[in-house]
Structure 1
């Protein structure tokens, strides 16, 4: 697929607490943008190498670790995997548990992309699926290397997830990540009856928008069990509609001319916020 003519290029980076659903969101965004006719590159920045599972029927793609350890040359095409859904994917891979640093793989991937500007520029939608709570500087490499001008935070309604979201907002305020703009928060709910006023208050306190709130849907789990996105498994389902709406909202926020700088809380302010709004873990 050729790059869509006349479309502005999007670089979307998704961060959030481990297990909150970043990979589910990022893979569905990539799938929707491919369905919309964009040329899409999905970058899995997680040692689990699971970002591409919904596109490759459970097969393991080559990883940045394969390249670093000499099993691949430094050719863009060798690390790239083209999928039937029209989404091109790359995975960082990662070291064995207890050995090495997972963040180093992310930094190495960003360096690799810097070395291949022509290939990278052919994409008009680049989606980063990035692990974790940002305690490791390697995981913020997509920003430090100038890749990420639009950060989206994936969070549930639980305190630990909101704490991570606040930390991500704090990260984007650092001077050396000045190019980063916060596109908003995508809430991936643990409970569909979660009090929405808490979510609104949290986003308002950070001075960022709410991109949307994804409700739990059995269709998404059934699709995942089959190694598919909900868009491919049940394209007319409410779940597919939810993801299409989130993708459109992300695109609007990412392509907006005005950069949004978050106003995060200190740790003490955050826990005071949690107590004031009586937010509890499930």
Structure 2
């Protein structure tokens, strides 16, 4: 009996290894045919993607749209605000438990509803025990088995970490799994650097025949300094909404409160965002160079007056370095 119990985890590990070794499908080059708008939202960790999406999806549902919100960040925090701080069982964790028990995953195990918004979390591996990007790929494979392509939603919103350098997080762009991308940023260099990386990824796959474009940017915690607005203008994408740096918004978000409710103080902001997200066409962005990004900020902020000083061998070793003649034999040309 003990040997059977020991062999079960071994078989599970072998299955995971086989899945990890599978190469992703080639980039799709056909025209998008889905009536459902599948929109991937990207941004730096902590920039407010989950806050934006929870309120956006809630407002869309109140406007009569059928909306599915899918958290694709290994932190699994996309749906926390929507569900008042409660953790949602993730697809990856549920799938692993079901597989070990010899059972299959059903919709009711991983998808939950609040006030008309359907929501689920892909999840990710435990810290230090796997690749978050590979977990995303596995999660979408499970969604496809559950009939993802046959679901009848008006909008599917995907919340992705902005690290599109990783193949898993770049999945919707690389495989044409969405029609358009929205970036969330603020007036700081790091968030705009991530937004620019997303634009670069979109442009790269467009050159390979892909169809995904950038529909626009949401500026979160906008303090009015204008760097994010300038970036969007330079990249050739519209600003869909500017959410102000406001203490009331911060406090309510921290207490897991939805502020995108019809008839409330911030309703008009998210009503406008919902309209813009629905109507904004996907555009081919113009990624910025590193110098162009730095030029958005004053030199005292980003340190552009710093001069790069080459190191010497004496600097590295702490002693004076004697340059010795080479022993290489150099022949004169015949």
Unaligned runs of 5+ in 2: 1-33, 303-334
Distance 2:109 2:133 in 1: 18
Distance 1:205 1:119 in 2: 35
Structure 2 residue 292 is the aligned partner of structure 1 residue 269: yes
TM-score (norm 1): 0.84
- The equivalent residue for 2:316 is none
- The equivalent residue for 1:230 is 259
Conserved? CA contact 2:137–2:171, under 8 Å: yes
Q: What per-residue deviation string (whole Å, max 9, x for no partner) do you get for residues 26-69 of structure 1? A: 11111111111111110001122111112323332221222441
Superposed displacement of residue 156, structure 1: 0.4
- The equivalent residue for 1:4 is none
Distance 2:115 2:216 in 1: 27
**Cα separation, partners in 2 of 1:89 and 1:189, compared to 1, 3 Å:** same
- The equivalent residue for 1:151 is 181
* Aligned counterpart in structure 1 of residue 228 of structure 2, from 188, 199, 210: 199
Between 1 and 2, higher relative CO (CA 8 Å, sep ≥ 6) is seen in 1
Distance 2:80 2:253 in 1: 9
- The equivalent residue for 2:7 is none
Structure 2 residue 45 is the aligned partner of structure 1 residue 13: no
- The equivalent residue for 2:221 is 189
Superposed displacement of residue 87, structure 1: 0.9
Q: What per-residue deviation string (whole Å, max 9, x for no partner) do you get for residues 6-40 of structure 1? A: x9521111101111111111111111111111111
Alignment size in residue pairs:
264
* Aligned counterpart in structure 1 of residue 78 of structure 2, from 41, 47, 51: 51
Conserved? CA contact 2:80–2:88, under 8 Å: no
The farther-off stretch of 29-38 and 106-115 is 106-115
Distance 2:180 2:209 in 1: 11
Superposed displacement of residue 137, structure 1: 1.4
Secondary structure of 2:240's match? strand
Distance 1:120 1:220 in 2: 37
**Cα separation, partners in 2 of 1:118 and 1:264, compared to 1, 3 Å:** closer
* Aligned counterpart in structure 1 of residue 196 of structure 2, from 138, 163, 166: 166
* Aligned counterpart in structure 2 of residue 125 of structure 1, from 155, 158, 163: 155
Secondary structure of 1:199's match? helix
Q: Give me the CA root mean square deviation.
A: 2.4
Superposed displacement of residue 119, structure 1: 6.4
Superposed displacement of residue 249, structure 1: 0.9
Secondary structure of 1:151's match? strand
Distance 2:233 2:222 in 1: 21
**Cα separation, partners in 2 of 1:225 and 1:164, compared to 1, 3 Å:** closer
Distance 2:119 2:78 in 1: 8
Superposed displacement of residue 91, structure 1: 0.5
**Cα separation, partners in 2 of 1:109 and 1:182, compared to 1, 3 Å:** same
Unaligned runs of 5+ in 1: 1-6
The farther-off stretch of 134-143 and 212-221 is 212-221
Superposed displacement of residue 105, structure 1: 2.1
TM-score (norm 2): 0.72
Conserved? CA contact 2:94–2:110, under 8 Å: no
Distance 1:202 1:279 in 2: 19
The farther-off stretch of 63-72 and 180-189 is 63-72
Secondary structure of 1:70's match? helix
